[in-house]
Chain A
């Protein structure tokens, strides 16, 4: 493979190298290269994870080499070019990895300076360097480039290089703007997600159902079969790839790869049940482990036995996510002569080793090019997706880009592991620490690259990593102390996350010492200082206390409440000790956190953090400050709200609602205190400021409430439980309420059939009997005709017919999904079986081209096919019969003028006896009246026009009226609400459950635009109805609104609507305490962006849930359907689109969400019952 570096062949260079540790890199590794044009390239084996090390490393090189910062280009992580310096972990880039680079730069400077002295014939001490130009007396000077000339100079990196004294630093220690930001702010920087190579295809993977579990005999062995035919219709599909449990699809276009992955039918064996991870303590205690004593000094057992006040505590840490904002992505180009991948990996060289194993090819044939990616804070799926891309590229023989989905990244990223810390100890009689017996359990390993496991190349045996020991020894000089790490294998896929085990261990250490101080009646900072011997630590603690204006608090005092709010302040300190035990320290860090706790809702707000840090020499102080900000914000998020949820056998948090992270609204004010220690060696700053977080916040919550919280996240439900004890728990998410009293729905009678008397009904029944008998006779066929010549109809007639077709929504039923308009084939589910709509284009054989007008009119008025067969009343001829002749003729003209389409009709699938068409004659006799609508002279002309449209071709009652056992509309419960295609068609009368009654104007607006601000947007089968109505003039829409509004006996004025809306929105504007907190989080993460009142302006409408009819309905069906399937085809694009959540939320989550939305936004309505069944049913129904 050739390197991308553009070497200038006719000029020389100077490079500093060392022999490679492994043979793969071609025998040597280069750190610095200076070319004759004066350009400097620095090579480092670590990668920039968004922390700005590219900038800091350039500063270090520029400083040691005495060149300007702008001259230095830093190359990171490309395996064919950079030294193998291991994974970018443990905040060690600056502290460790930069050391040889700095030495190399210094070595090059010494070499060039010596050469300049020779060239200028001056002693070295008389020379100075300015941006690569060596100057002596008398304006004599020579540049680095000139010194190199055409020579190729290679210096082996020396162990013994004199680097610059800190006092002489001019570039290091200055805040330098990040080199990458202008390109990132303009979309010009190529992230790995943006990498495109010629001929590249798009891949997606389909992961097994054991989402987020990577150990156990079922891993790699669970796939039963793939039905490739299930995706064969997808355009541009290139391949379906399977290797054991590894499954992927490849397509020419990305959206088609997305479709293929979603639609590919794969069957899997059942997946075993996970331990119950809601109870982490039990799960971790049950996980097999090996104790490893890290320290045992004094006599711990005797000291604790003798303690005046024994104190035994357990602290629990949850599973958390790295939560990269960009799901991982990679491009691979597999060829016989070599493999090249473009990856966002954190450890290019280790990945290359994995890929070699996966492909059974030597490492030298594999080139990993590292490109920037979304921040990862430990380990995300970057390596996994690279291996996925390699497998797909190998299978299809072309370069393939693989983008993981949000759901895959959430489910499969190696989690930051749960952890369990037991502390036994207590106080002596004089308030001292009697003993400290600390045990920590950390179930994590390195999370092997997934493809290796899924393909069976690496056995899915859980390995044990000794990583629970980070900062396991507290920073305090306790006389009697024992620390034991119980090393154990992972339970679910887990790996290091920022702060690794040090953050949970410190949570325990710093919570416990706070408890000791309280028990001893000593100020918690003073108490710590008694046991802190490290002078830099003491300086930092004092500086932070002073900066924050810490007031000593030896005895806990209940704060003065401001309403429901109580405020508190907490302290915590840590020296982050990382890497292989005993490890070494990164920067020192201390926090003082201020919190406000709402005792009524349980919400905790971290209002301010004073974060102090001693980082030694800060290469780029602004960069350090940003790292501290980032750590404070991210770790506050982890402490307050982050916890992975699990289902029976897999990770359940698959989007940001189920795994919320902090938003702008909740970010604390941060006061950063950076101790000036420029004379001390630089220390890692990437993680330290996270480490004290959770303890400082927990200690502040204690200060506010007097209650200790020993298990983050400090969610509202946990706080309420802590404050109130176990009583007053939130009610179950889906309460079992008593069945509702039946709502009388005979409030409104159809104004046109309501006058039928009992006698008339008896007559009708008699006629029905005769009808059934008569129907046994064969129907009369009307002879076929040649298709009428459309030119006999005037354009105005055809246009009028088109409007009427729109009103009648012919195409809604007579067109199947993605099918040709009016060519039929749409399945219409009825309680009696499935009916398929027919072809009503003017095709003579399969459509209605051979139908004369009398045949058409008979069908419309009497429900009889041209050939004499009875039609089923799914075809609403009872309504159409009310249409006048002129309109039917115009409709006929329009239909005949359309393009004929040949499309065979499909047989109905009705159950006996309904499949016996003559029976319909009896139905007709009972329920059908083929009469024109008679105007009601007591009503306005507009009302009568509306009645004609609604009752006739509009056939609103078909969906919006309940039906009797025979499937006929109930005349005495007119427009009282019905069901259509599994959707609820809500009542259009004053029986409406909508919190704001429908008014004429709102009906008009809704029918015209598909949206009423007081009710919501049209969705499901109503969306195409409103789209169809677009063809009708304003006057007709107004008439329909006038007619329909006459079924509401409460007239409401626009101002009253506004007032009521404001009232409802205000009263439901805040989180509902009693409802499902899981639902609350899902709402905030998934729904609120588009639905919260007063939320950000976004393309499309913002339906207000407090006013939405679906939330106030007796049944949850419409809401659940919309959550699952979204709104892909709104009435118009102006309304915007709603995504489908069916692949992101499981049934439990949808049920929790629906339950929460109901309780919050329709608080005066009964909770819905049987939500799980409703979700299950809606999931099985097709999307709209």
Chain B
């Protein structure tokens, strides 16, 4: 069975992917494009670990087939920045030490990025609402909230 390749635009580059159209975007990003930022967490869109941006909107890549992504701009964690050139949201997470195991971190950063793309100065309530369906098991919620508030330009008090 050979199906025509599916053309995806990821982090500004075009890729022709030889995978079935119903393949979850997450598998293609990870296995074909070696983008490890998005993580497999539940396969049901419940936890948010696989979040990417599609046309600037947060998207749970474990439940979106690649056929639905054709002609859209996909951005992954790697597309935001690298260790040497962190995106301001990534920088805020590092500054606030906003992770323990870090497995959920991709989803937190990408969801925060999506929030800030549509609301440049969200309130804390808006931040908590935006992150409400991103699960973290280590309990880094406080640091994560602080990181997003920092990225949103709010003054964040030192903890002490």
CB-based contact B27/A255 at 8 Å: yes
Task: Decide yes or no whether B6 CB sits under 8 A from chain A.
Answer: no
Closest-by-CB residue of A relative to B95 is A177
Rounded to whole Å, the gap between the CB of A672 and the closest CB of chain B is 8
CB-based contact A1086/B78 at 8 Å: no
Closest-by-CB residue of A relative to B82 is A186
CB-based contact B77/A375 at 8 Å: no
Contacts of B45 in A (CB 8 A): 1089-1090, 1139
* Interface positions of B from 106 to 160, Cβ below 8 Å from A: 106, 109, 111, 114-115, 118, 128-145, 159
* Interface positions of A from 327 to 353, Cβ below 8 Å from B: 327, 329
CB-based contact B49/A326 at 8 Å: yes
Count A/B pairs, Cβ under 8 Å.
237
Q: Give the residue among A186, A258, A1096, A1137 with the most B Cβ atoms within 10 A.
A: A186
Contacts of A1141 in B (CB 8 A): 44
Summarize B's interface: helix, strand, loop or mixed.
loop
CB-based contact A630/B23 at 8 Å: no
Rounded to whole Å, the gap between the CB of B103 and the closest CB of chain A is 4
Contacts of B65 in A (CB 8 A): 1128, 1137
Task: Decide yes or no whether A778 CB sits under 8 A from chain B.
Answer: no
Which of these binds chain B: A300-308, A566-574, A655-663, A834-842? A655-663
CB-based contact A325/B93 at 8 Å: no
CB-based contact B40/A1128 at 8 Å: no
- Bound-state CA distance A728–B65 (Å) is 46
CB-based contact B133/A1133 at 8 Å: no
- Bound-state CA distance A840–B21 (Å) is 26
Q: Given that A191-B36, A325-B49, A326-B39 are known contacts, is A186 also in contact with B77, CB under 8 Å in the complex?
A: yes
Q: Given that A325-B41, A1085-B46, A1095-B129 are known contacts, is A1133 also in contact with B67, CB under 8 Å in the complex?
A: yes
* Interface positions of B from 43 to 97, Cβ below 8 Å from A: 43-49, 54-55, 57-60, 62-65, 67-70, 76-78, 80-83, 86, 90, 93-94, 97
Closest-by-CB residue of B relative to A672 is B159
Contacts of B10 in A (CB 8 A): none
Closest-by-CB residue of B relative to A50 is B101
Task: Decide yes or no whether A183 CB sits under 8 A from chain B.
Answer: yes
Q: Given that A185-B94, A626-B100 are known contacts, is A1098 also in contact with B41, CB under 8 Å in the complex?
A: no
CB-based contact B1/A235 at 8 Å: yes
Q: Given that A631-B139, A1097-B118 are known contacts, is A406 also in contact with B41, CB under 8 Å in the complex?
A: yes
Partner of A1133, one of B27, B68, B138: B68
Task: Decide yes or no whether A194 CB sits under 8 A from chain B.
Answer: yes
- Bound-state CA distance A625–B146 (Å) is 14
Contacts of B134 in A (CB 8 A): 664
Contact with B along A159-189 (1 / 0, CB 8 A): 0000000000000000001101111111111
Q: Give the residue among B60, B90, B97, B101 with the most A Cβ atoms within 10 A.
A: B101
Task: Decide yes or no whether A1136 CB sits under 8 A from chain B.
Answer: yes
CB-based contact A656/B99 at 8 Å: no
- Bound-state CA distance A631–B139 (Å) is 7
Q: Given that A665-B129, A1099-B58 are known contacts, is A325 also in contact with B94, CB under 8 Å in the complex?
A: no
Task: Decide yes or no whether A405 CB sits under 8 A from chain B.
Answer: yes
Task: Decide yes or no whether A416 CB sits under 8 A from chain B.
Answer: no
Rounded to whole Å, the gap between the CB of A1092 and the closest CB of chain B is 8
CB-based contact A665/B132 at 8 Å: yes
Task: Decide yes or no whether A143 CB sits under 8 A from chain B.
Answer: no
Partner of B141, one of A655, A656, A667: A667
CB-based contact B141/A1097 at 8 Å: no
Q: Given that A629-B143, A1137-B64 are known contacts, is A186 also in contact with B86, CB under 8 Å in the complex?
A: yes
Contacts of A253 in B (CB 8 A): 19, 23, 27, 31
CB-based contact A189/B102 at 8 Å: yes
Contacts of B1 in A (CB 8 A): 235
Task: Decide yes or no whether B8 CB sits under 8 A from chain A.
Answer: no
Contacts of A630 in B (CB 8 A): 100, 138-140
CB-based contact A184/B46 at 8 Å: no
Contacts of A625 in B (CB 8 A): 159
CB-based contact A187/B37 at 8 Å: yes
Rounded to whole Å, the gap between the CB of A632 and the closest CB of chain B is 7
CB-based contact B99/A1139 at 8 Å: no
- Bound-state CA distance A1138–B46 (Å) is 11
Partner of A374, one of B46, B103, B130, B133: B103
Partner of B97, one of A191, A329, A626: A626
Task: Decide yes or no whether A622 CB sits under 8 A from chain B.
Answer: yes
- Bound-state CA distance A978–B57 (Å) is 38
CB-based contact B97/A177 at 8 Å: yes
Closest-by-CB residue of B relative to A632 is B139
CB-based contact B58/A1095 at 8 Å: no
Rounded to whole Å, the gap between the CB of B43 and the closest CB of chain A is 6
- Bound-state CA distance A1100–B63 (Å) is 11
CB-based contact B86/A629 at 8 Å: no
CB-based contact A51/B100 at 8 Å: yes
- Bound-state CA distance A625–B142 (Å) is 11
Closest-by-CB residue of B relative to A52 is B100
Contact with B along A438-460 (1 / 0, CB 8 A): 00000000000000000000000
CB-based contact A1137/B133 at 8 Å: no
Rounded to whole Å, the gap between the CB of B17 and the closest CB of chain A is 11
Q: Which 10 A-B pairs have the closest CB atoms?
A: A50-B101, A187-B37, A633-B139, A1133-B68, A630-B139, A1099-B59, A375-B101, A184-B102, A1089-B133, A374-B103
Taking A187-B76, A377-B137, A629-B142 as known contacts, 8 extra A-B pairs with beta carbons closer than 8 A to each other, sorted by chain A number, are A182-B86, A255-B19, A372-B102, A373-B101, A405-B43, A625-B159, A631-B139, A656-B44
- 21 pairs across A/B with beta carbons < 8 Å? A51-B100, A181-B93, A181-B102, A185-B77, A253-B23, A626-B97, A626-B140, A626-B143, A629-B139, A629-B142, A655-B46, A656-B42, A661-B135, A662-B141, A664-B132, A665-B128, A1095-B132, A1095-B133, A1096-B58, A1097-B118, A1128-B65
Interface residues of A (CB under 8 A from B): 49-52, 177-178, 180-191, 193-194, 196, 202, 235, 253-255, 258, 323-327, 329, 372-375, 377, 403, 405-406, 622, 625-626, 629-634, 655-657, 661-665, 667, 670, 672, 1085-1086, 1088-1090, 1094-1100, 1128, 1133, 1136-1139, 1141, 1144
